[in-house]
A and B are shown apart, each in its own frame.
Chain A
Amino acid sequence: MRIPTAGSRLSLGAWLLRGLGTYLLLESGPFLVLGLALRKTAAELAGPYLACAAPAAILMPLVWWLRQREERGATSKRLARGWGVSVALFGVAMVVAVIYSGVKFHLMNPTDALGGLVVSVLLSAPISYFTLYHMVITRLSSRAAAKGDGTRPK
């Protein structure tokens, strides 16, 4: 019997509702602590909160789409590239969100933040792309080997 995956089991709306809901709930904890520690109002916290939610809002639909493509039999390399680009996008969005929050909370100098942004983006994008690319290729190969079809990943 074939194991059902998210592609066949959940619609995009249901996936986002559960996944993003969980993420936003998890995110509210640290922001509550930050608000108390830095004595910020809800209005001051709203911008950084939304900025830090944006990376998840970008990544979660991409994950759903990638699982759909996997269901439809996309090649390993295409899937690996898709995962790499998605997580690199997530990383860049997260770097922007964290630096924006740092500036908003007066923890970072705005002029310095620009240099920090460039360094962090240059570091994060290739690392995340290659981490996920390598991981997906490895796992799909071992999955194909476990099934015993003996074919190399496409």
Chain B
Amino acid sequence: MDGARSVWRQLRHFQPAKLQPVPYAGNNPLSNVDPLGLDDGPECFEGDPDCCDGDDDWFECGPPLPEGGGGGGGGYAVHLDTRRILSENLGLPPGMLVMPSDVAAMLQGAFGLPQPGCEFGACGDIFGFGPGDDGNAAGVINIGPFLFYVRVLEAEVRNAASKKAPNNGQPQQPQKKPCNGWTRAGGVLKAVDGSITTAAMVDLAAIHFWAGGFIIGVTCFTPEPAEPVACAAGVFAGGSAWAGGTALGYGAYLVAKDEMIPGVKQAITCEP
């Protein structure tokens, strides 16, 4: 696990803003103020009351938030403010939606979104794990079914659209497209798109399966004395991760079958 932990630590301290740095105001001159031009990194700027004492970086203490809680703008795109986003989407004035921070964090965690102080996946005391690496595994559990249902919804919409196509009740004849370079290029694009999506889904499924095994191992193997209730809860949480992984595996299979392989066929045979 030490190897995984060290990779995780490196990921946590990975700062995308440093890939193409603009020295002024932490690569975000529209939102941040740096009158003396002395701040050279994505650290804390004026307008952020809680941060920073100089040693904390952006990943530890979060981005500068706009005053009053609403109005948008400011901060780095990676870090989400659930309260502000919900307020804006519901059309509420700034500050009206009062939400306990742990509820906001759980909402973000439930969708596998970054949480304050923990930029990748859920962290904090979700599923009974304390803050730290273990909690992050729980955050990815919910992505799988979510993506899967989006995929199912998409397929349903496509089916409904094809059924409703006006053709005087006659079955639609597939239109033959001319075979040329564009057709082949379309196939290549389809194959590339399908391959990337399949790879991403397989990757996410692998993370889910790994997280499931890890959670079961932690809850059933480590405690002394062994506690059946904790083990059962871990098996349930691990099972949820497995369910997500299964859904992703199924989705990856569908994408490979419907997008990647037809794309390769189209690129080779020139038949759409």
What is A's interface to B at a CB cutoff of 8 Å?
A: 3-7, 9-10, 14-16, 18-23, 26-27, 52, 55-56, 59-60, 63, 67, 83, 87, 90-91, 94-95, 98-99, 102, 107-108, 112-113, 115-120, 123-124, 127-128, 131-132, 134-136, 138-139
Judge whether B231 and A127 touch: CB under 8 Å. Answer: no
- Which of B209, B238, B251 contacts A127, CB < 8 Å? B209
- Which of A4, A56, A60, A119 contacts B225, CB < 8 Å? A4
| Chain A to chain B: the 3 pairs with minimum beta-carbon distance, closest first | A120-B249, A116-B250, A6-B226
Distance A132 CA – B232 CA, assembled complex (angstroms):
17
Question: B245 in the interface, Cβ–Cβ < 8 Å?
Answer: yes
Given contacts A63-B220, A138-B1, contact A107 B152 (CB under 8 A): yes
| Nearest-Cβ distance from residue A9 to partner chain B, whole angstroms | 6
| Chain B residue with Cβ nearest A120 | B249
Residues on the A chain within 8 Å of B217, using CB: 83, 87, 131-132, 135-136
| Nearest-Cβ distance from residue B152 to partner chain A, whole angstroms | 6
A-B contact pairs, 29 of them (CB 8 A): A3-B224, A3-B225, A5-B226, A10-B226, A15-B228, A18-B228, A19-B228, A22-B228, A55-B235, A60-B231, A63-B226, A63-B231, A90-B235, A90-B242, A91-B209, A91-B242, A94-B212, A94-B246, A95-B249, A98-B247, A112-B257, A116-B250, A116-B251, A119-B249, A123-B245, A128-B209, A135-B221, A136-B217, A138-B2
- Which of B212, B220, B236, B250 contacts A112, CB < 8 Å? B250
Judge whether B232 and A26 touch: CB under 8 Å. Answer: yes
Judge whether B224 and A5 touch: CB under 8 Å. Answer: yes
Judge whether B209 and A22 touch: CB under 8 Å. Answer: no
Judge whether A124 and B229 touch: CB under 8 Å. Answer: no
Residues on the A chain within 8 Å of B206, using CB: 123, 127
Distance A51 CA – B91 CA, assembled complex (angstroms):
44
Residues on the A chain within 8 Å of B246, using CB: 94-95, 98-99, 116, 120, 124
Q: Assign chain B's interface to a size class.
A: 35 or more
Judge whether B213 and A112 touch: CB under 8 Å. Answer: no
**A116-B254, A124-B242, A127-B206 are known contacts; what are 8 more A-B pairs with Cβ within 8 Å?**
A22-B228, A22-B229, A23-B235, A23-B236, A56-B236, A120-B245, A123-B205, A136-B221
Residues on the B chain within 8 Å of A108, using CB: 250
Residues on the A chain within 8 Å of B243, using CB: 94, 98
Given contacts A19-B229, A108-B250, A119-B249, contact A128 B239 (CB under 8 A): no
Residues on the A chain within 8 Å of B210, using CB: 127-128, 131
Residues on the A chain within 8 Å of B257, using CB: 112, 115
Distance A59 CA – B242 CA, assembled complex (angstroms):
14
- Which of B2, B202, B235, B242 contacts A95, CB < 8 Å? B242
| Nearest-Cβ distance from residue A46 to partner chain B, whole angstroms | 18
Judge whether B254 and A91 touch: CB under 8 Å. Answer: no
Residues on the B chain within 8 Å of A115, using CB: 253, 257
Distance A107 CA – B236 CA, assembled complex (angstroms):
22
Distance A102 CA – B61 CA, assembled complex (angstroms):
42
| Nearest-Cβ distance from residue B197 to partner chain A, whole angstroms | 14
Residues on the A chain within 8 Å of B254, using CB: 112, 116
Distance A6 CA – B221 CA, assembled complex (angstroms):
11
Residues on the B chain within 8 Å of A113, using CB: 250
Distance A119 CA – B99 CA, assembled complex (angstroms):
41
Interface of chain B residues 49 through 72 with chain A (CB within 8 A)? none
Judge whether B224 and A132 touch: CB under 8 Å. Answer: no
Question: B214 in the interface, Cβ–Cβ < 8 Å?
Answer: yes
Question: B252 in the interface, Cβ–Cβ < 8 Å?
Answer: yes
Judge whether A123 and B225 touch: CB under 8 Å. Answer: no
Residues on the A chain within 8 Å of B213, using CB: 87, 91, 127-128, 131-132, 135
